[in-house]
Amino acid sequence: MAKYRFIFLFSVLIMLVALTTYAAKDEATVEGVWNFDNGDAADTSGKGLNGNIVGDPEVVDGIVGKALLFDGVDDGVKLPDSVGINTLAQPNFYTDRTIAAYFNCTDVDITEQKQTIFEEGGRTRGLVLNVFDGQVYVAGWNRAEYQWQGAFPSAPVESGKWYHVALVIRDATNAVEPNKFEMWLNGELIASEDGGALFGHGDDIGIGHVNANAVFHDEDGAGTNIHYFGGIIDEVIVYNSAFDASDFAAYAAPVVSVEPQDKFTTTWASIKAQRTRQ
């Protein structure tokens, strides 16, 4: 009897773990995927949020298929407003969010401007991924409703090197609470800070630059068409679910692999194709 009870309990535990893992990255919550594989800013998520390329970024080999090389001066991608990203109706705030991207910054030590990988929102509410003075930052804030002034964790990075960076809002409410805002880098949890849910925000969305207003760690960011990124950006994703370590491990595989470039690129391209078909 004890043996069967153990088997039953073990089976239940395995089921719970499986359910938890599934609930982390939920494909039903995908809101945008821009992989640049066709040399454009088409959204391959099925949501139709195709971007408008400005400037003249070069199509180059990325870490996962093709990517865009931005000049740091006037290259960027402008994304349309989306009910699932920044202008939702009901519910009136986002409790879970994952934004992630691969990047390879030409010069991480630039201090004349922030180098924006992705931004959404404005001065009151928003999210940002950016590079500045040898650090990659993720940022989130909601300075109305419940007065989350923001979290701005960062980690050191090097020029000419690939990274996978992500921010996560996890199971948040309309209150500032501990461990609701996370930074992940190359599959590792870097920081877990105070945070909260993100209410709807109408300012425009940008890749490779600030399209319309943001807030950086030093309160800079007001304006349009500013803070351009210099380097390569590949596969930007937005999900309204909170990824976990197993999810990020898969995305981090290319940047932490010690295998030859052609071998792991081929392997990862297969993984990516399977992911896109889901």
pLDDT at 217 over 50: yes
Angle of CA points 67, 70, 74, to nearest 5°: 145
φ, ψ (nearest 5 deg) of residue 196: -160, -175
Q: DSSP labels for 220-238? A: ---SEEES--EEEEEEEEE
Site of tokens 């950006």 = 233
Q: Is 154 helix (H, G, I), strand (E, B) or coil?
A: strand
- 30-75 tens-digit pLDDT: 999 999 999 999 999 999 999 999 999 999 999 999 999 999 999 9
Say what the pTM is.
Answer: 0.85
Looking at residue 22, its pLDDT comes to 39
Lowest mean pLDDT among 154-168, 182-196, 245-259: 245-259
Cβ(118)–Cβ(140) below 8 Å: no
